[in-house]
Amino acid sequence: MATKEEEGGPSSRVPHLPWMRNPVDIDSFSGCPVAHLPRLDPRLVKPLQRMGIESFFPVQVAAWLETIGPGAFERDICINSPTGSGKTLAYALPIVQMLATRKVRCLRALVVLPTRDLALQVKEVFDAIAPVVGLSVGSAVGQSSIADEVSNLIEKSKQGLFPSLDEEYIQMEPQTKVDILVATPGRLMDHISMTKGFSLEHLQYLVVDETDRMLREAYQSWLPTVIQLTRSSDQNHSWGVERGFKGKSFPRLAKIVLSATLTQDPSKLSQLELQHPLLLNSGKKRYRIPTKLQSYKLVCKSNLKPLSLIVLLQELRGEKCLVFTSSVESSHRLSTLLEFFEDLPFKFSEYSRLQRESTRRKTLDAFKEGKIDVLIGTDRMARGIHIDGLRYVINYDMPPYVKTYIHRAGRTARAGESGSCFTFLRKHEVKAFDKMLKKADNSSCSLHSLPEESVETLRPVFSSALKKLEESLESEATKKSKLGDKAPNASKRKRTINT
Ligand SMILES: Nc1ncnc2c1ncn2[C@@H]1O[C@H](COP(=O)(O)OP(=O)(O)OP(=O)(O)O)[C@@H](O)[C@H]1O
């Protein structure tokens, strides 16, 4: 059952935690041209330009001013800022700048994200800026075998190369090959428990991206484990205590946590053991959708939803579009059904956790490259993923929570661009949906109607497509049961799937 927190609660509720009540307002900062950002290491200017960054977004300026300069990283930073507002660079840039003066290579910054796709996306940002200041970035996401990952992360023992080295010197050598590691919790835990030489002992920065999602799931207790391992033995983890490194002192572990829907739940946030936290919030409200996002609702009967979707996609004329359904089964059923409509003027594909990782990756790449126009999937695609030029999001099934709406809709209208989110609703869902949008501080949602005759012309094909769909699902179920798969059979699916 959903908690009040997941449902979103009233958008203006006063947070329980005192430090959340008077945040720094990100909206009070203006964008800042790259050349004018105070104290920016000049070596970083070129790579930023290569990334197409001419001016920093307000969240990046706000985070920079709170982390660089006098009192740098004295407080843990919590950022609540809309989807697509540029949160990745808001933490990547200060971390790279702070580590740019490091003398010895060892793991100093750890960024944890919920999925591999997201982690790889974030690694790309670090890869673009870190090497110019001599920093090396690694990933622990399970994209390659654990052995390959280990060899990319850990230096081979010096003893093997130089047997004459004395014991003490060997022990002093940090073994990690990377300064910054971007990880998913599962693979991170694998390395913590199994990889020799993998150490968090020298960690200075811990970033928990998509914090609310990361805190909702325990992922083998990764967070308490990381926090425990980053406490130095002589430290009783009080704020401001310095962490030692072979006689040289380094600042305490600084944390940055962020989301477009940051939790306000004290019991969840307490897991992070934040020290003297500072909240950077966009505006006065708890949630915000991107300024240039247009929301539309389409009211239609369940049985006409697939046809209405086709008509809407025809209207969008092959523009890139993400379609969200409520379950993997629903996505599969919908995409299989669309296959039985001939000559659709758009290319579409399913994107589902039931597919192999390699298939999913190829599909996402094809979508990014524009070889596929429409991707049909679930909330797995909703968090953090950035696709250039994506202007349309369609909620084929109404999102269950306001947070879900924010993350799904937030795949478009990113980085100051405009975009539209269409939501299909049944009549009885309209009231709940309007209420949900109010929580997202989005009170203007126009009704979008589709030409009835366009829907009607598709009806004859629909009947035969539906028949073929049932046959296809039956045959899939038979194949699966022959293979001994315990998946629910097609007739069971029919009851649970909503087309
Ligand atoms: N200063 C900038 N100028 C131009 N583009 C930028 C700038 N900063 C970030 N971007 C681009 O904006 C897009 C969105 O950035 P990012 O993915 O960091 O957003 P986000 O706030 O983390 O979104 P989400 O909450 O959905 O994860 C990216 O394509 C990024 O390259």
List, for residues 370-386, the tens digit of each pLDDT value: 999 999 999 988 888 89
Torsion angle of the four alpha carbons 141, 143, 148, 154, in this order, in degrees rounded to the nearest 10: -20
Phi, psi of 272 (to 5 degrees): -80, -10
Nearest CA to ligand 1 atom 22: 87
Residue type, 425: L
314 Cβ neighbours under 8 A, 6+ residues apart: 344, 345, 346, 454
Residues with CB under 6 A from ligand 1: 52-53, 55-57, 60, 83-89, 260, 384, 386, 410, 414-415
In angstroms, what is the span from residue 333 Cα to ligand 1's centroid? 33
Where exactly does CATH 3.40.50.300 map onto the chain? 18-155+174-231+250-281, 293-476
> 308, exposed or middle or buried, with CB in 10 Å at 0-12, 13-18, 19+?
buried
Whether domain 18-155+174-231+250-281 has CATH 3.40.50.300: the reply is yes
pLDDT tens for each residue of the chain, 499 residues long: 455 555 555 555 668 899 999 999 999 999 999 999 999 999 999 999 999 999 999 999 999 999 997 778 889 999 999 999 999 999 999 999 999 987 788 999 999 999 998 999 999 999 999 999 999 999 999 888 899 999 899 987 654 444 555 555 555 554 789 999 999 999 999 999 999 889 999 999 999 999 999 998 777 799 999 999 988 655 544 433 334 444 444 557 999 999 999 999 999 999 999 999 999 999 988 899 999 999 999 999 999 999 999 999 999 988 999 999 999 999 999 999 999 998 899 999 999 888 888 898 899 999 999 999 999 999 988 888 899 999 999 999 999 999 999 999 999 999 999 999 999 999 999 999 999 999 887 768 999 999 999 999 999 999 999 999 999 999 888 888 877 655 444 444 443 333 3
Spatial CB neighbours of 485, under 8 Å, sequence gap ≥ 6 = none
Distance 306 CA to ligand 1 centre (A): 33
Q: Which of 56, 115, 414 gets mutated to test ligand 1 (max ligand atoms within 8 A of its CB)? A: 414
Position 75 scores a pLDDT of 92
Under 8 Å between Cβ of 107 and 181: yes
Say which CATH superfamily domain 293-476 falls into.
P-loop containing nucleotide triphosphate hydrolases (3.40.50.300)
**Cα of 423 from ligand 1 centre, angstroms:** 24
Which pLDDT score, from 0 to 100, does residue 499 have? 36
The residue contributing the CA closest to ligand 1 atom 8 is 86
Q: Is 56 helix (H, G, I), strand (E, B) or coil?
A: strand
C-alpha 368 to ligand 1 mean position (Å): 16
Structure-token pair, residue 300: 């239609």
- How many C-beta neighbours within 10 Å does residue 217 have? 10
Which tokens hold the place of 452? 């009835």
